[in-house]
A and B are shown apart, each in its own frame.
Chain A
Amino acid sequence: MKQFAELIRVIDGTNKTTLKVAALTEYFKTAPDEDKLWTIAILSHRRPKRPVNTTLMREWATEISGIPLWLFEESYHIVGDLAETIALILPTTNESSEKTLSQIIQELIELRKKEDSEKKAYLQENWLKLNYYERFVFNKIMTGGFRIGVSQKLMTRALSQATDIDQDVLAHKLMGSWTGENTTFKELVYEDNEVAMRGKPYPFYLAYAVENEVSDLGDVTQWSAEHKWDGIRSQTIIRSGEIFVWSRGEELVTDKYPEFQKFLDVIPDGTVIDGEILPYKDRQILSFNDLQTRIGRKTVGKKLLEDVPVVIVAYDLLEWQGNDIRELPFQERRALLDKLVLDSNEKANLIESDSMFPLLISETMSFTNWEDVAKERERSADRRSEGLMLKRKDSPYLVGRKKGDWWKWKVDPFTIDAVLTYAMRGHGRRANLYTDYTFGLWQDGELVTFAKAYSGLTDAEFRKVDAWIKKTRCNVLVL
């Protein structure tokens, strides 16, 4: 546990990526295999189920700290992190524990089946054997969410440096449904597996927002416009008779969208499609809220599949007949894509004529003047899009966010004047800052709350609003 806690302390204590990677690499070189496996599991959101709920954790921590529960709650609101609050209020001790990370996790797994009294004894005993930072990490293992600025990508980079295994190969090996309980470090990392390469995605090309006048982009006939759909940007890979669906966050989401398995019947191997996953039913795009009901699920039930079916609206073709075609001009890639979508729909129709084939095309439009482009943008709300995408007709498919060839031209959001009725402190980086707001509107002399907001402001803007709230708030007595 000491070594793992120290790793987390170093990572959490720096905002430099190189230092984080160096600390992780060192850890992966020196820690025992079982600990390494659990470290990967924890950092990739595969921690074991929590053995104790947070209400009990608070009670038991408060009990040995000798403070009233309300004072714990007040402290928690200000600290903004439960694991940290508990670690801070517990009495300091000089004892120490030599248990390893995997030992502790094993104990926590076994603890799940035990009675509350045993759980309480276990937690209280172990809390007092750990120093402040180990306690914090111990609590985090139970409460979850190590938000310490280590992405899956960063962890993979460090593991790659420690093992000399290619990063992309590792990235894929670490995907999927394994847990720390059903595999070993050797099996997970070293077992040879050329399958890994099969699902490898291309980096996404991302657009910047139009900065000034759209007409500054020059000759309108050089540009292809299409609507910007509000779903999940994805990359669908069909190779060697298998399908892989990646989200833009480079998360493998194939299992969340079983609809797309149909692609295997009609789309040839060696095809990679860039597109938007959208909820779509009765020839109508549903709202992003509908899609959200599917995003969070690991397994999707039959009812949900019927209520919120999804499709891919294809934007681009990156690989065709096994060749990387990203260097081809956009127009040529699109010609191939249009044909692919048409052909596969026809083929699918022959197999199963009564059901919807979940691959549509995002229509491209050409214009002769910018005024017409602007008019089309105004129709975005009716078409349920966020605005327009403008792509230079001869542009290659680039890597990452690049200026010049692709622009997004979103519609302006609607605005409303409302009353800030309530503010809450945020968590983590926003702890002790009022960053979560509730808004109300007047109706018959009464304020009716209608919305909550916690994003969209910059750090500087949050500080400004926070300062204003702290100055002007009326204290609400919490009983």
Chain B
Amino acid sequence: MKFSFHPAGHIPGSSQIRVEHKDEVWVFTGDYKTEDDGISTPYQPVKCDTFITECTFGLPAFKWQLQTQVMDDVNNWCAQNHADGKTSVLFAYSLGKAQRLIKHLDTAQMKIYCHGAVYKMTEVLRQLINFPPTYLITRETTKEELAGNIVVAPPSAHGSPWMRKMVPYVTASASGWMAFRGARRRRAIDKGFVLSDHCDWDGLLDSIDATGCENVITTHGYQDIFARYLREEKGLNAISERTQYETENITESESDKDDKLSLQTSSDIVASSNTNFSSSKKM
């Protein structure tokens, strides 16, 4: 039995796992996306017989725009807020999405202030990735310093007293779920940017094609619908499987799903980064 890790492009360090036994190859994707986000090693398709793929966004209603377009929107939004004298508060999960935003934010006019959780994670990754400067928000940070700048914070900060310092502010969330008006409105945020660290519908289909696989096992997300589509429309031998870590995800309100999923994978990556396969088996 031979194991190897391959880039999944989800967040820095995320991997797919390839398992080879005799003449058979299986690949487990974990969370992945096909677009190069500028901070993670880009996803590489791996040839296999059986492809175990997540399908968090496995519906044709999910179609991502290019990151450059989304980031243009984000930067224009921040610039407009700056012109209106308001602070732009961007909610994004502390590992992955936050750095992806920070990497591509336009800092010509504005500074990026961070919540502690985001700041610490960015500092860790700064050794590997070139980020614009970020500033930690502390007790001493004044309202005046923050005014008109950008704040990156985890979603849990939304509505907390911590936000008071940013008044007047406008809020935005960056997530694949923002594609749905319902999800956006439930969250009571001012603006939703559709930016995901998972594959969209076409991304999933392209990846499956690229592996040349015959068998697909769909997990996580709309796995039943997606497997049926693969069987009936693509002629693949596809089944859906529930993963052990799914219950945790399902109990989240769906708009937080994206974040929780990252959390799950990232902790596993931390566990597996300097050990052998036995400790990453729980994936």
A residues sitting closer than 8 Å to B (CB atoms) are: 12-16, 65, 67-68, 70-72, 74-75, 78-81, 84-85, 88-89, 92, 427-433, 459, 463, 466-467, 470-471, 475
Contacts and interface: CB of A to CB of B under 8 A. Distances in A.
A470 B250 contact: yes
A471 B180 contact: no
B49 interface: no
Contacts of A68: 229, 232-233
A432 B254 contact: yes
A471 B250 CA distance: 7
A341 B63 CA distance: 64
A15 B182 contact: no
Contact of B191 (A13, A70, A74, A81): A13
| Residue with the highest number of chain B CB atoms closer than 10 Å, among A14, A68, A71, A72 | A71
The 9 A-B pairs of least Cβ separation, nearest first, read A431-B182, A88-B61, A467-B251, A470-B250, A75-B61, A74-B225, A89-B60, A75-B59, A429-B185
B61 A78 contact: yes
Given A14-B190, A71-B60, A467 B181 contact: no
Interface residues of B, number: 30
Nearest to B189: A15
21 contacts: A13-B192, A65-B60, A68-B233, A70-B228, A71-B59, A71-B225, A74-B225, A75-B59, A75-B61, A78-B222, A79-B61, A80-B182, A81-B181, A88-B62, A428-B182, A431-B181, A459-B186, A463-B253, A466-B253, A471-B247, A471-B250
Contact of A74 (B59, B233, B247, B253): B59
B46 to A, nearest CB: 27
Nearest to A13: B191
A432 B247 contact: no
Contacts of A431: 180-183
A84 B180 contact: yes
Given A68-B232, A74-B225, A433 B60 contact: no
Contacts of B186: 429, 459
A85 B182 CA distance: 12
B188 interface: yes
B191 A89 contact: no
Contacts of B181: 12, 81, 84, 428, 431
A26 to B, nearest CB: 14
Contacts of B63: 88, 92
B59 A78 contact: yes
A425 to B, nearest CB: 10
A interface secondary structure, majority: helix
A459 B254 CA distance: 13
B179 interface: yes
Contacts of B251: 467, 470-471
Contacts of B241: none
Given A74-B59, A78-B222, A467 B182 contact: no
Nearest to B188: A15
B224 interface: yes
Contacts of A14: 190-191
A15 to B, nearest CB: 6
Given A78-B61, A79-B182, 10 more contacts: A12-B181, A14-B190, A70-B228, A81-B181, A85-B61, A88-B62, A432-B180, A459-B186, A471-B247, A471-B250
Contacts of A475: 224
Contacts of A432: 180, 182-183, 254
Nearest to B192: A13
A475 B251 CA distance: 17
Nearest to A136: B181
A466 B252 CA distance: 10
A432 B252 CA distance: 12
Contacts of A79: 61, 180, 182
A430 B186 CA distance: 8
Given A74-B225, A81-B182, A84-B181, A467 B190 contact: no
Nearest to A463: B253
Interface in B247-264: 247, 250-254
A467 B250 contact: yes
A12 B183 CA distance: 12
Contacts of A85: 61
Nearest to B179: A88
Given A85-B61, A432-B254, A467-B251, A71 B229 contact: yes
Contact of B190 (A16, A75, A466): A16
A81 B183 CA distance: 12
A38 B251 CA distance: 43
B32 to A, nearest CB: 21
Nearest to B233: A68
Contacts of A467: 250-253
Nearest to A427: B182
A161 to B, nearest CB: 19
A391 to B, nearest CB: 36
A406 B222 CA distance: 51
A338 B153 CA distance: 62
Contacts of B222: 74, 78
A71 B58 CA distance: 11
A433 B256 CA distance: 13
Contacts of A13: 184, 190-192
A188 to B, nearest CB: 30
Contacts of A65: 60
B163 to A, nearest CB: 15
B183 A67 contact: no
Nearest to A464: B251
Contacts of B184: 13
A12 B254 CA distance: 20
Interface string B36-66: 0000000000000000000000011111000
A16 B86 CA distance: 15
A409 B220 CA distance: 49
A429 B179 CA distance: 13
B229 to A, nearest CB: 6
A430 to B, nearest CB: 7
Contacts of A88: 60-63, 179
A92 B60 CA distance: 12
A13 B80 CA distance: 15
